């Protein structure tokens, strides 16, 4: 629906960002092998082939997180979304994919659509996703069984919804950080970065 | 009548001809004769004509009569024919009715026949369909029969194989039996040996028991010996100690004395310590007192000096001072003088400031006036420009007006043709609109121009005021030196301050960069400000679920490990004899190994296959038996091994059967039954004489059939 309009509204921007997160998280889970590759199906999005999970429990979890995230994006109260990969045996954090969200609050008051072509946004998203796929080359292998978790950094005074709770930021000790590309819809700007635990075998 | 008429005609004709002939002879006469001849000719012609007409009339009359006759004849014939036709018609009508009745009957018969035909056709079709289905069934039966034949062949092959295997197994079994016998013999031997060995073992055990008893006795004795040795050692030590006892007693006494001495010493020590502490305190006090003394002496010296100074003041200042009152008086005088001087100072300062203020005011006024003059100048210029513009505008307007007037006059002059007036008025309107537009544009441009000019004027004014201030500042700078030096000092101080601040700024910038980098690093790592941000996650997230599952797995594995350890312990304690009991009690639920699973699967599949084969065989055999029964007319049963009982389809009673026995050499023999007694002749003929069982059976069939049909 936003592809037919020239400009982009707050709602449209929220949808674009939520879709990016949904596909991005699925891609990361597939690339890092958190779930077996046969539980993913290939879909076409942003003019490229992406892998999306079939596992119903995982789908439910992602949908609930993304729907809540959309509500927070509309209010411009969310600051970061973090995907944390933890080793299940030793309970230590191995990888941390962090997406910073900067929201232009003036879009909440003024509801006129902004001049930003959907094609340009999709191009940027495509380059970000390609870069995520390329990061697999230098990230250390995950040999132990791992689980993942999604953390959301929001404003302090925000009311915590029913199924959510406060958690620690799960910061990696002795980490290497790499900053990845960013994209902006002129209302929301999303910057990506990945932090991974330094391996001693070098 | 006709003939009479004809004869008259002929006679007249004859006379005519003779008449005509006569005159031929008398032609010599002259002209009167010619006239008479002519007259005669004319008379003859007329007579001929009359004759002709009369003959024609007669002819016609004859014809008429003939016609009437014919008419009558015809009428009679017609009446006859009509009668005949009427009779025919009646006959025909009768025939027609008969025929119609017949046709109706025939139609009814035809309809019936058609109905029958359709019914027959339908019956035919059904029969054909039945035939087709039956044909198909027959084909299927044929196919099944062939298949069953094939399976029978396969089964026969299998049976042969199985028989061979059976034979092999039998041979193996016999071999095994032989082996078993051998083994049994060996076993007997071994048993005997075992008994001997057991006896030997028993004897050995007895010997061992005695040995163990001896060994135990030996151990006991050794133990006693060791105890005794220990006792001896103890005794020795006690002896040695006993020898040492008096020395110890002496030492004890000595120590007691020392003890008392030390106790006394201790008390003395404590007393001494108290004394020491008292002395220390005294010492401190004395030290403090010394310091105080020293300070006091210093103060005393200072005060004495002061007093001396005070005493010498009078001499140093030259005033008449002997006593402090004089000093105070002097001081008061001096203070008063000071006060007066300060007042004068203040008044002078105030006057100076007033002067400065008036000066600055004057300067400001001067600048204002300057500015005003500039404004006036500018206004004048603006006015002049406006004037020029207005003049130009006026000229333009006059020109326009002249032009418009000329146009109007031209239009008025051309106003005679009425068609042009609307066009002209329209053109006029357009021209007026254009004019208004251009005027509006003009005014806008002029307004913009005035704005720009105003801005430039203001800027010029500001520039000039700034220049004026600069000049005044420069003049101020060129003023008195003491002000300049002070300002120079101030300037230097300010410059230094600026440098310091600049250096501090750079340092702070560097620190800021470092902090920003650190902040960036922390941001990348995921740090956050707890005051502004909170971190949330879903309670049921995959990591927690995975951890829970892992915990549960670990728990279950631990429990299983414990259980297995118990089982192993029991096994180790129990030994082989109780192996089964322990395992059973342990209730191990080990998953069976892969081979067992595979074999189980194979067994299941083979059982299933066997089941299916049995079903198929059953079906095929049943089919075959029914087909045999249908085709041959005999149901063949096997009541006992090698005995075959045939029951005919045409048998009169249920018990009418033929029993054939298969001999050991393979040929079939008919057994005696109640039914065969009734078939003696056939038996004799076909079996004894012809020695053919199929012929006999077919004869029996025919006999029974004939019996059935006749009955």
pLDDT tens, residue by residue, B427-440: 888 888 888 988 89
pLDDT tens, position by position, B574-616:
766 666 666 666 666 666 678 889 999 999 999 999 999 999 9
State the CB neighbour count (10 A cutoff) for residue B657: 21
pLDDT confidence bin for B501, thresholds 50/70/90? very high
Residues in chain A within 8 Å Cβ distance of B533 = 79, 153-156
Label the pairing between strands B634-637 and A78-87: unpaired
Please report the pLDDT score of residue B304 as a whole number. Answer: 94
Strands (E), A56-120: 78-87, 93-103
pTM of the model: 0.38
Select the residue of A89, A148, A171 nearest B526 (Cβ to Cβ): A171
- CA pair distance B51, A85, nearest whole angstrom: 160
Q: What is the DSSP letter of B688?
A: I
User: Which residue in B365, B375, B376 sits closest to B459, CA to CA?
Assistant: B375
Segment A39-72, tens digit of pLDDT: 999 999 988 999 999 999 999 999 999 999 999 9
Count CB pairs under 8 A between chains A and B. 103
pLDDT at B588: 61
Flag if A149 and B541 touch (Cβ within 8 Å): yes
pLDDT at B578: 66
Q: Which residues of A touch B538 (CB under 8 A)?
A: 61, 64-65, 150, 163-164
Which of B542, B550, B551, B553 would you mutate first to test chain A, the one with the most A CBs within 10 A?
B542
Residue A61, chain B, CB below 8 Å: the answer is: yes
Instruction: Return the structure tokens found at B458.
Output: 């203001």
Rounded Cα–Cα distance for residues A23 and A26 (Å):
5
Window 512-531 of B: residues touching A by CB (8 A cutoff) are 521, 523-528, 530-531
Comparing CB atoms, the residue among A147, A153, A172 nearest residue B528 is A153
For chain B, say whether A166 makes contact (Cβ under 8 Å). Answer: yes
Indicate yes or no: CB of B546 within 8 angstroms of CB of A98: no
Nearest residue of chain B to residue A179 (CA atoms): B524
Q: How far apart are the first and last CA of chain B?
A: 103
Q: Please give the pLDDT value at position B27.
A: 46
Name the residue with higher pLDDT: B270 or B689.
B270
Q: Which residue has the higher pLDDT, B321 or B710?
A: B710
A5's enclosing H/E stretch is none
Whether A164 sits inside 8 A of B538 (CB atoms) is yes
Distances, alpha carbon B345 to alpha carbons A119, B336, B486, in Å: 83, 14, 20
Predicted local confidence at residue B210, as pLDDT = 95
Query: Any CB–CB contact under 8 A between A58 and chain B?
Result: yes
List, for residues A94-151, the tens digit of each pLDDT value: 999 999 999 988 877 777 777 888 889 999 999 999 999 998 888 988 888 899 999 9
CA distances from B45 to B29, B38, B51, B52, B279 (A): 21, 10, 9, 10, 235
The whole-angstrom separation of Cα B627 and Cα B144 is 11
Please name the residue of chain A whose CA is at the shortest distance from the CA of residue B530: A156
Task: Assign B4 a pLDDT band (cuts: 50, 70, 90).
Answer: low
pLDDT for B278 equals: 96
**Which of the listed ranges B73-82, B287-296, B320-329 does the model predict with the highest average pLDDT?**
B287-296
| Residue A1 scores a pLDDT above 50 | no
Q: Flag whether residue B540 sits within 8 Å of chain A, measured between CB atoms.
A: yes
Check CB contact of A60 with chain B, cutoff 8 Å: no
CB contact set of A167 (below 8 Å; sequence gap of 6+): A151, B535, B536, B537
Work out the average pLDDT over B341-365.
95
Q: Of B49-63, B197-211, B416-430, B654-668, where does mean pLDDT reach its minimum?
A: B416-430
Distance CA B299, CA A19 (A): 90
Q: What percent of chain B has pLDDT over 90?
A: 52
Instruction: Mutate one of A57, A96, A167, A168 to test the B interface: name it (highest B CB count within 10 A).
Output: A167
B532 to chain A: closest CA residue: A156
User: What is this model's ipTM?
Assistant: 0.86
Asked if the C-beta of A195 comes within 8 angstroms of chain B's C-beta atoms, the answer is yes
Q: What percent of chain B has pLDDT over 70?
A: 91
Q: Which residues of B touch A195 (CB under 8 A)?
A: 524-526
Inter-chain contact B546–A163, Cβ cutoff 8 Å? no
Question: What is the C-alpha end-to-end distance of chain A, expressed in Å?
Answer: 50
Please indicate if any CB of chain B lies within 8 Å of the CB of A108.
Answer: no
- Chain A residues with CB under 8 Å of B550 CB are 88-89
Question: Do the Cβ atoms of A165 and B524 come within 8 Å?
Answer: no
B456-498 confidence digits (pLDDT tens)? 888 888 888 888 888 888 887 666 555 667 778 999 999 999 9
Interface with chain B: mutation pick from A34, A88, A176, A196, highest number of B CBs within 10 Å: A88
C-alpha span between B298 and B305 (Å, rounded):
10
B517 near A73, Cβ under 8 Å? no
- B534 to A89: CB separation less than 8 angstroms, yes or no: no
B537 vs A147, A158, A167: nearest CB: A167
**CB-CB under 8 Å, A160 with B536:** yes
Q: Which residues of A touch B554 (CB under 8 A)?
A: none
Give the number of other CB atoms < 10 A from CB of residue A129: 22
Separation between Cα atoms, residue B36 and residue B26, nearest integer Å: 11
> Across the interface, do A98 and B524 touch by the CB < 8 Å criterion?
yes
Tell me what pLDDT residue B18 has: 76
Segments in B633-678 forming alpha helices (H):
674-677
Q: Is residue A105 within 8 Å of residue A52, measured between CB atoms? A: no
pLDDT digits (tens, 9 = 90+) for B214-228: 999 999 999 999 999
Query: Which residue of B521, B533, B542 is in closest CB contact with A156?
Result: B533
What average pLDDT does the structure give for chain A? 89
More reliable by pLDDT, B689 or B254: B254
Partners of residue A169 in chain B, C-beta under 8 Å: 526-528, 535
> How far is Cα B176 from Cα B169, in angstroms, rounded to an integer?
10
Beta bridge partners of A182: A191
pLDDT at residue B114, as a whole number = 93
Residue A62's closest chain B neighbor by CA? B541
The distance from CA B225 to its chain's CA centroid, rounded to whole angstroms, is: 91
Q: Each residue of B95-142: pLDDT tens digit?
A: 999 999 999 999 999 999 999 999 999 999 999 999 999 999 999 999
CB contact under 8 A, B534 and A166: yes
User: Which residues of chain B neighbour A98 with C-beta distances below 8 Å?
Assistant: 524, 526
Alpha-carbon gap, residue B111 to B117, rounded angstroms: 9
What mean pLDDT is predicted for residues B275-300? Answer: 96
How many Å apart are CA B494 and CA B408, to the nearest integer? 80
Residue B555 has pLDDT above 70, yes or no: yes
> Minimal Cα distance from A84: which residue of B?
B543
CA distances to B52, B159, B601, B609 from B615, in Å = 129, 17, 21, 10
> In this structure, what token pair is assigned to residue A84?
């944390």
CB contact under 8 A, B547 and A58: no
Per the CB < 8 Å rule, is A61 touching B540? yes
**Which residues are B177's β-sheet partners?**
none
CA distance B77 to B66: 16
Structure tokens at B708: 């059935």
CB contact under 8 A, B550 and A156: no
Inter-chain touch B543–A148, beta carbons under 8 Å: yes
For residue A96, list chain B residues with Cβ-Cβ distance below 8 A: 525-526
Q: How far apart are CA B447 and CA B441, in angstroms?
A: 10
* CB contact (8 A) between residue A151 and residue B531: no
Return the CA Rg of chain B.
Answer: 87
Distance from CA of B593 to the nearest CA of A (A): 27
Using pLDDT thresholds of 50, 70 and 90, give the confidence band for residue B686.
confident
Q: Taking CB atoms and an 8 Å limit, are B543 and A195 in contact across chains? A: no
Place of tokens 């010029």: B460
CB proximity A64 to B under 8 Å:
yes
Which of A86, A167, A179 lies nearest to residue B536, judging by beta carbons? A167
Contacts of A65 in chain B (CB under 8 A): 538
Asked if B547 has any chain A CB less than 8 Å from its own CB, the reply is: yes
Nearest chain A residue to B550 by CA: give it: A88
pLDDT at B241 over 70: yes
Q: Flag whether residue B548 sits within 8 Å of chain A, measured between CB atoms.
A: no
Which has the higher per-residue pLDDT, B399 or A8? B399
- The distance of B601 to chain A (nearest Cα, Å) reads 28
Query: How far away is chain B from the Cα of A153, in angstroms, using its nearest Cα?
Result: 4
Quick one: pLDDT at residue B19?
A: 65
Nearest CA in chain A to B529: A156
**pLDDT of amino acid A202:** 45
Is residue B614 within 8 Å of B631, Cβ to Cβ? no
What is chain B's mean pLDDT, rounded? Answer: 88
Q: What's residue B684's pLDDT?
A: 85
């Amino acid at each position: 629906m936003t592809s037919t309009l020239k400009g982009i509204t707050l709602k449209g921007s929220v949808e674009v960002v939520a879709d990016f997160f949904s596909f991005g998280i699925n891609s990361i889970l597939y690339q890092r092998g958190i779930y077996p590759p046969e539980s993913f199906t290939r879909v076409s999005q942003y003019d490229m082939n992406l892998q999306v999970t079939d596992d119903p429990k995982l789908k439910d979890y992602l949908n609930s997180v993304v729907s809540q995230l959309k509500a927070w994006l509309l209010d411009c109260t969310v600051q970061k979304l973090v995907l944390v990969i933890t080793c299940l045996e030793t309970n230590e954090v191995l990888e941390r994919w962090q997406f910073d969200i900067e929201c232009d609050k003036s879009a909440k008051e003024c509801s006129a659509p902004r001049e930003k072509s959907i094609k340009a946004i999709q191009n940027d998203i495509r380059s970000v996703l390609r870069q995520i796929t390329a990061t697999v080359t230098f990230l250390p292998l995950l040999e132990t069984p791992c689980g993942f978790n999604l953390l959301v950094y929001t404003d302090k005074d925000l009311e915590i919804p029913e199924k959510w709770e406060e958690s620690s930021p799960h910061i990696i000790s002795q980490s290497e950080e790499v900053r990845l590309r960013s994209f902006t819809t002129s209302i929301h700007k999303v910057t990506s970065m990945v932090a991974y635990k330094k391996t001693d075998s070098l | 009548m006709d003939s009479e008429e004809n004869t008259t005609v002929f006679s007249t004709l004859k006379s005519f001809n003779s008449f005509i002939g006569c005159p031929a002879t008398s032609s010599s006469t002259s002209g009167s004769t010619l006239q008479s001849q002519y007259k005669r000719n004319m008379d003859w012609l007329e007579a001929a004509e009359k004759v002709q007409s009369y003959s024609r009339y007669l002819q016609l009359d004859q014809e008429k009569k003939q016609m009437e006759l014919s008419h009558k004849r015809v009428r009679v014939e017609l009446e006859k024919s009509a009668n005949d036709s009427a009779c025919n018609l009646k006959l025909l009508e009768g025939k027609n009715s008969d025929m119609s009745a017949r046709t109706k009957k025939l139609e009814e018969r035809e309809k019936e026949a058609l109905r029958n035909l359709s019914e027959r056709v339908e019956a035919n079709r059904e029969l054909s369909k039945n035939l087709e289905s039956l044909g198909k069934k027959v084909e299927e039966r044929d196919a099944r029969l062939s298949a069953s034949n094939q399976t029978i062949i396969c089964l026969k092959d299998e049976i042969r194989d199985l028989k061979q295997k059976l034979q092999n197994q039998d041979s193996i079994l016999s071999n095994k039996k032989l082996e078993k016998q051998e083994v049994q013999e060996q076993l007997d031997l071994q048993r005997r040996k075992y008994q001997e060995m057991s006896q030997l073992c028993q004897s050995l055990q007895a010997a061992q028991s005695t040995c163990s008893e001896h060994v135990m006795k030996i151990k006991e004795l050794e133990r006693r010996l060791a105890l005794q040795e220990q006792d001896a050692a103890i005794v020795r030590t006690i002896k040695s100690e006993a020898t040492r006892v008096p020395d110890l007693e002496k030492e004890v006494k000595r120590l007691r004395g020392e003890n008392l001495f030390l106790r006394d010493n201790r008390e003395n020590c404590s007393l001494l310590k108290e004394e020491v502490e008292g002395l220390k305190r005294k010492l401190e006090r004395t030290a403090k007192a010394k310091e105080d003394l020293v300070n006091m002496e210093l103060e005393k010296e200072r005060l004495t000096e002061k007093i001396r100074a005070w005493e010498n003041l009078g001499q140093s200042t030259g005033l008449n001072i002997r006593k402090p009152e004089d000093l105070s008086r002097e001081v008061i005088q001096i203070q008063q003088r000071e006060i007066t001087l300060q007042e004068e100072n203040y008044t002078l300062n105030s006057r100076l400031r007033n002067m400065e203020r008036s000066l600055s005011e004057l300067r400001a006024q001067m600048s204002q006036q300057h500015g005003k003059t500039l404004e006036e100048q500018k206004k004048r210029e603006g006015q002049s420009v406006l004037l020029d513009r207005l003049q130009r505008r006026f000229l333009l307007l006059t020109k326009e007006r002249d032009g418009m007037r000329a146009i109007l006059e031209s239009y008025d002059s051309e106003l005679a043709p009425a068609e042009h007036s609307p066009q002209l008025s329209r053109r006029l309107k357009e021209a007026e609109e254009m004019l208004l537009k251009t005027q509006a544009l003009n005014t806008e441009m002029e307004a913009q121009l005035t704005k720009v000019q105003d801005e430039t004027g203001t800027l010029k004014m500001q520039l000039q005021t700034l220049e004026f201030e600069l000049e005044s500042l420069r003049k101020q700078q060129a003023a008195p030196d003491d002000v300049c030096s002070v300002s120079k000092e101030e300037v230097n101080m300010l410059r230094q301050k600026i440098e310091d601040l600049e250096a501090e700024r750079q340092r702070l910038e560097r620190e800021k960069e470092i902090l920003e980098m650190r902040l960036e690093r922390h941001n990348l790592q995921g740090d956050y400000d707890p005051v502004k941000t909170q971190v949330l996650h879903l309670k049921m997230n995959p990591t927690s679920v995975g951890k829970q599952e892992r915990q549960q797995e670990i728990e279950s594995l631990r429990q299983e490990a414990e259980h297995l350890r118990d089982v192993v312990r029991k096994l180790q304690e129990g030994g082989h004899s109780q192996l089964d009991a322990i395992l059973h009690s342990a209730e191990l639920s080990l998953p069976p190994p892969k081979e067992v699973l595979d074999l189980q699967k194979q067994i299941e599949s083979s059982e299933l296959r066997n089941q299916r084969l049995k079903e198929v065989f059953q079906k095929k055999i049943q089919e075959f038996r029914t087909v045999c029964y249908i085709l041959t007319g005999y149901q063949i049963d096997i009541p006992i091994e090698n005995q075959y009982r045939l029951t005919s389809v045409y048998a009169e009673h249920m018990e009418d059967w033929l029993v054939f026995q298969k001999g050991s050499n393979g040929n079939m023999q008919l057994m005696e039954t109640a039914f065969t007694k009734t078939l003696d002749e056939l038996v004799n003929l076909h079996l004894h004489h012809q020695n053919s069982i199929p012929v006999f059976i077919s004869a029996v069939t025919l006999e029974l059939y004939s019996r059935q049909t006749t009955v």
